[in-house]
Structure formats: structure tokens, C-alpha cells
Amino acid sequence: VIGHPKYQDSKRIAIFLSMPDEIQTEEIIKDIFKQGKECFIPRYKPQSNHMDMLKLSSAEDISSLTLTSWNILQPSDDDSAREEALAGGGLDLILMPGLGFDKKGNRLGRGKGYYDTYLERCMKHPSGKPYTIALAFREQICELVPVAENDVQVDEILYEDS
């Protein structure tokens, strides 16, 4: 990821805070700050498909986040001091999780449509849709992932041997 040209060229990057069964993102987050880039992480709204990407001030800032019922760290609902990416300059790159992927860029998420809905909002932002890279294990690459009409394909999937 760190050597990827799209990552190198990006200034404003959204990345997920990994769960134990996902590609671990901690070192990427540290590198984002080391290179002087801006880092945004998801805040999911329960009982909806709404997600915002909120700015982290440092890699250490992660320790100030609250744990959700899904066991995901994210800024608390009353944290209004953080910049939301689309309220500012938008995003250049989104690094995304998923459960399964096919080589056409279709992604199977956890079923709520958070990323698809967020990407629809990005497309309406003046800076346009950011480049999307899914981070996967080779075992998550499938022949075919079922898709719905509102599913947004990822631009690229990075996995071992890709």
C-alpha cells in the first residue's frame, strides 16, 4: 500500500480501523501521519446506512476513540470538533475493508451499505469520487460476488500476489 502510486499522490486518505479478521491498518495509519498526509476514519451511525469520515489528529488519537457495540473504534456521536472529509476538501483515496471481492471490483461488505452510500455522497462533492482500494487476503478473492444496483465497484483490490 505504502509504495502504491495512488497512495503516494494522495493528500487526504480515508482508512478503516481494522477488526481482528481484517488486513491490519495500524502501520499504514502511522505512515499517513509520517508523510504529512491527512487521515480520516469512519464513524458509522447505527440503525442506518449513514457513515461519515472524520479526521484523526495523530496515530495516537486512536486511543481516545470509543468502542462501538460492533467492537469498532470510532469517534463518539457527540464529537463535533473533527472535520468531516466532505465538509472540507473531500478525499483523494479510500482504503476499504470487505468480506469478499471478485476481480471485476465487486465487493461484499457487511451488508449495511455504508461505503456504497458514502461513495454516492462523494460523487456529489466538488472534488469528485476518490480512488478506492480494497485491502484483502488472497482467500477473500472469489469468482463472483453478488451485487445490487446501488453497489459501487472498487477501483482496485490489493492482496498478496496481486
CA neighbor of 32 nearest in space, from 75, 89, 78, 93: 93
Instruction: Say if residue 113 carries a ligand binding annotation.
Output: yes
Nearest to 12 by CA among 33, 31, 36, 39: 39
Cell output for 64: 481516545
22 labeled binding residue: yes
And the C-alpha cell for 61?
A: 488519537
Please check if 89 is assigned to a binding site: no
Whether 109 has a binding-site annotation, put simply, is yes
CA dist 88 and 14 (Å) reads 13
Q: Is 114 one of the annotated binding-site residues?
A: yes
Separation of alpha carbons 109 and 100, rounded Å: 7
Q: Is 43 one of the annotated binding-site residues?
A: no
- For residues 145 and 51, give the distance between their C-alpha atoms in angstroms, rounded to a whole number: 23
Q: Could you tell me the end-to-end alpha-carbon distance of the chain, in angstroms, rounded to an integer?
A: 12
Is 107 assigned a ligand-binding role in the annotation? yes
Could you list the residues known to form a binding site for substrate, using ranges: 17, 22
Could you list the residues known to form a binding site, using ranges: 17, 22, 107-115
Could you list the residues known to form a binding site for ATP, using ranges: 107-115
